[in-house]
Amino acid sequence: MSATSDSIAPRTASARGIDLRPYLFGAGIGVVSWAAFAIAHEPLGITTALSRAAAPVASLFFGSDVVSQNPYWSPMPFAWDYGVLFLFGVVGGALASSLAAGTFRFELVPRFWRERFGGSPLKRVLGAFFGGAAMMFGARMAGGCTSGHGISGTLQLALSSWVFLISIFASGLIASRLVFGTAWKGGRR
């Protein structure tokens, strides 16, 4: 099992062949967290802001009265504030980074999906849509995602966040085994 090799990006490995980049970029996210707490006064997170950005979308379909009276949205109505603008920064940062590194490429059916479910774009669109929908539902029930709980919450040693992290890994490991079986190698055969 090869854990680190990838043809997409050039490897900057240490002398012993260990790719240190995931650790270093991970530590970099930790440093960004310092600024999030000390300067922005809002920990890194995605789904709270994204669920607020869903409110104006819901207004289009169900009317603004339904949305403004909704008990989930009414304590935190939509605004172009820090959390929502942060989301646009995330897309921009990855765009600039992937263009600079030469890794930007359009992808509709990824390798892992193609090897298990075939190359049908419609199947992948349905899988991504309902996967995303269920993910957001679960994240809101838990109060955060892999960023808000998984990084920002665990680094504060919050009970809720450590329980969440253990729960998603237990569930994800079982789901991966059931969906892909044991022979599958993460789409990198």
Partner 1 sequence: MSLILPLAMGFAFGALVNRARVTDCNVIEGQFCLCDFTMIKVMLPAMLVGGLGVLALVQAGDAHYYIKDANMLGVILGGAIFGVALVFYGYCPGTGLAAIGAGSVHALVGVVGMIAGAILYAFSYGWIKAHILDVWALGKVRLPALTGVPDLVWFAAVGVLAAAAFAWIERRSVES
Query: Taking the complex as a whole, how short is the minimal distance between the CB of residue 75 and partner 1, in angstroms?
Result: 11
Q: Give the one residue of 15, 79, 88, 102 binding partner 1; rule: CB under 8 A.
A: 88
DSSP 78: -
User: How many residues comprise the chain?
Assistant: 189
Alpha carbons 46 and 78: distance in angstroms, whole number: 14
Distance of CA 133 to the CA centre of its chain: 13
Q: Give the one residue of 79, 98, 102, 119 binding partner 1; rule: CB under 8 A.
A: 98
* Binding positions for partner 1, 155-184, rule CB under 8 A: 155-177, 179-180, 184
Is there a contact between 160 and 153 (Cβ–Cβ < 8 Å)?
yes
* Binding positions for partner 1, 39-58, rule CB under 8 A: 39-44, 46-47, 50-51, 53-55, 57-58
With binding defined as CB under 8 A, does residue 83 bind partner 1? yes
With binding defined as CB under 8 A, does residue 78 bind partner 1? no
Which residue, 9 or 64, has its beta carbon nearer to partner 1? Answer: 9
* Binding positions for partner 1, 111-150, rule CB under 8 A: 111-113, 124-125, 127-150
Distances in whole angstroms, Cα of residue 42 to Cα of each of 84, 86, 148, 153, 173:
12, 10, 10, 12, 31
Token pair of 20 as six digits: 């240190």
Q: Give the one residue of 104, 118, 119, 120 binding partner 1; rule: CB under 8 A.
A: 104
Alpha carbons 128 and 119: distance in angstroms, whole number: 14
DSSP 3-state of 124: helix
Q: State the number of binding residues for partner 1 (CB under 8 A).
A: 138
Which residue, 35 or 118, has its beta carbon nearer to partner 1? Answer: 35
